[in-house]
Structure 1
Amino acid sequence: MGDHDPETGGAQPMVRPTETARWVIPVLIPLAAVFVAYALLVPDGPAEAARSVAVAVAWGSTLVLALVVTVLVVLGGMAVRRGPGGGRRRPGSLRTWLAVAVVGYLILLTAVSGRMAPLPVFDPLEHHWQGKVLDLIWLAILFGLLRRWARTEVGLRVTIAAGSARPAAITIISVFGFFVGLTVLAVVLDPSTVAPVSAERIAYDATIPNLTEELIWRGAMLAVLDRAFGTPRVVLGAPVGWGIVITSVVFGVGHGVLIDLAGGWSVNLAGGVFATVMGLALGWIWARTGSVWPAFLLHCAPELGVDVGMLMTG
C-alpha cells in the first residue's frame, strides 16, 4: 500500500534516512515520553533523569568519536590505495559524511535508550528491559516512516537470498553448539563457575535485546554505510564493503568501553575484541542472507549456548 504512488502509477522511489529528515524528530518521541514519565513518577525525577541522559550522551559520544576515527582511517587507507589520479568514486564526500552523521545519531539514540533511568515498573526485573523496549519503539517509528527502505535495504523481511539458508543454518548451529560445549567444559574444569539461569535471563537472551541490536547495527547502520561505501567484495557469498568493518569496530568499542547506570566507567578488552569478531560474523550473515532475522538468531546463539550449557551442568 505505502509503496504505490497513484500519481506515477508505479512504486515510490526509495527514500533512505540520508535523504529525508522526516524521521529525525519522531524517533525522539518515546524517549521524551519516558523522560517526562520518570520526572512525574519519581521523587527528584527531573534531576535523576537529566543525569542519566547526560551519562548516556557521554558514552554515546565516545562511540561516535570511535566511528569518526574509524571512518577517517578507512578513507585514508582508500586514498593511499587509490593513489593520485585514481578513477574510482571518491567516498570522502558530503554523502559519505551525511551517512556517518545518520549512524552517529542512531548511536546516540540507542545510547540514551539503554541508559536512561528506568521507570519504577521495571524495578522488579533483573535486566534493563526498558532500554531495549525503547529501542524497539523508536525503531518501529523509523521503519514505519521508511517502510520500503526497511524491507529492501535493512532486511526487515522473512525471505532470504537464494542459496543462503544452508550456510546461515550451519553458522548459527555451530556457534550455538560451540558455546554449549565451551560452557560445559568450563564448569567441569571449575565447578565454581556454574551460575543459575532464570527464565527472565533466557527470555532476555532470546528476544528483544538481541533483535534491537541487529536492527540497529546490522540493519539500519550497515545499510546506510554500505550505500555510502559500496560492497565491492564478495566474502563467502556475501557482498561486503568497508561498512561491515566500521560497524564491527564501533560495535566492539561499545562492548569494550562500558558505563553503568550510575555513571561508572570500565574497560573490558576481551568483551570488545569478541564483540568486534561477532560484529563481522553478524554483518556477514546479514549480507549473505539479505535479512536481519538470521543475524538475530546468530546473535542469540552464544548467549543461549551459555544458558543451555549452564542448565546442563546445573
Structure 2
Amino acid sequence: MNFGVYNQVVVEWFIFIAFLLIPLIVYRNKVNWKWVGLAIGIFLLHKIVLFLGLDGTYPDLIPGRYNWEGKMAAIIFLLLLAYLLFPKKANEWGFRLSQNGVAKKAGIITAIITALIGTLLAWLYFSGTKEGSTSDWLYQLSMPAIEEEIFDRGIMLLILDRAFRQTWKFAKVNWSWEL
C-alpha cells in the first residue's frame, strides 16, 4: 500500500475543506448543509477512486507511466454519481453530446486547434515529451480533461450551487456558483 498517495488524498481533502470555509463563513445563514456534507464526502471518495489506480488496486490494462485505470474508474464513478444525484439534469452537469447551431462546428474546430497547439508546444518546449510513448500522449490529450471537466465544472460546481443558493448581481449580471 502506497501511503504517500493517500497522504496526498488527505492533504487535498483538507485544502478543499479549508477553501470551503470561506463561503461557509460568508453565507453562514444561507447554507444547505446536506449539500455541503455531500460535497466534502464526494470530494474524498472521488480522490480515493482516482488514486487507487496508482496504488495498483486496479489491473494494469493500459501500459504506460500514467494512471489510465484510476482516471477511467473515476469517470465511471462520476457518471454513476451524477446520474444518481441529478437523474434528469444531465445538461446541468455538462453531459451533452448534441449541440445546436454553430456551436458544434466551432467546438470541433476549437478542439482540433487546441490539441494541435498543445501538441506542438509539448513537442517543442518540454523536455522528455519526444520520447513519450503513444500511450502517454493519448493519456495527456484525453483523460485529464475528460475526468476533471466532469468533476470540477460539472458535478462539484452543481453541488456547490445547491449548497450555497446565494446569487449576487455584478455589472447587471446575476451570478451564482453555477454560471
Query: Same fold by TM (over 0.5)?
Result: yes
| Structure-2 change in CA distance of 1:72 and 1:121 (3 Å) | closer
* 1:71 equivalent in structure 2: 20
Q: How well do the aligned residues superpose, as a CA RMSD in angstroms?
A: 3.8
| Structure-2 change in CA distance of 1:123 and 1:157 (3 Å) | closer
Deviation by residue 1:162-201 (Cα, 9 ceiling, x = unmatched): 78668866865665455355445537xxxx6552242212
Distance 2:141 2:156 in 1: 22
| Structure-2 change in CA distance of 1:135 and 1:100 (3 Å) | same
Residues 230-309 of structure 1: pairs in structure 2 closer than 5 A: 230=166, 232=168, 240-241=175-176, 243=177, 287=179
| Structure-2 change in CA distance of 1:155 and 1:233 (3 Å) | farther
| Structure-2 change in CA distance of 1:186 and 1:109 (3 Å) | same
* 2:147 equivalent in structure 1: 212
| Structure-2 change in CA distance of 1:93 and 1:179 (3 Å) | same
Distance 1:195 1:207 in 2: 18
- Structure (1 or 2) with the larger CA radius of gyration: 1
1:118 aligns with 2:56: yes
Is the contact between residue 56 and residue 112 of structure 1 (CA under 8 Å) also seen in structure 2? Answer: no
Is the contact between residue 39 and residue 159 of structure 2 (CA under 8 Å) also seen in structure 1? Answer: yes
Report the CA distance between 1:118 and its aligned residue. Answer: 1.7
Q: How many residues align?
A: 173
Distance 2:161 2:68 in 1: 30
Runs of 4+ in 1 over 6 A off after TM superposition: none
1:196 aligns with 2:139: no
Counterpart amino acid of residue 153 in structure 2: R
| Structure-2 change in CA distance of 1:231 and 1:124 (3 Å) | same
Report the CA distance between 1:157 and its aligned residue. Answer: 1.9
Report the CA distance between 1:224 and its aligned residue. Answer: 0.9
Distance 2:123 2:104 in 1: 29
Give the match's secondary structure for 2:131.
coil
Report the CA distance between 1:121 and its aligned residue. Answer: 3.7
Please list every run of 5 or more consecutive structure 1 residues that lacks an aligned counterpart in the other structure.
Answer: 1-50, 79-89, 245-286, 288-314
Q: Which has the higher contact order (CA 8 A, sep 6+)?
A: 2
| Structure-2 change in CA distance of 1:135 and 1:70 (3 Å) | same
Please list every run of 5 or more consecutive structure 2 residues that lacks an aligned counterpart in the other structure.
Answer: none
Report the CA distance between 1:130 and its aligned residue. Answer: 1.9
Is the contact between residue 114 and residue 131 of structure 1 (CA under 8 Å) also seen in structure 2? Answer: yes
Question: TM-score normalized by structure 1?
Answer: 0.44
Distance 2:58 2:19 in 1: 39
1:99 to 28, 35, 44: 35
1:137 to 76, 100, 103: 76
Is the contact between residue 123 and residue 130 of structure 2 (CA under 8 Å) also seen in structure 1? Answer: no
Distance 2:8 2:102 in 1: 40
Report the CA distance between 1:219 and its aligned residue. Answer: 0.9
Distance 2:168 2:98 in 1: 23
Counterpart amino acid of residue 136 in structure 1: I
1:59 to 1, 4, 8: 8
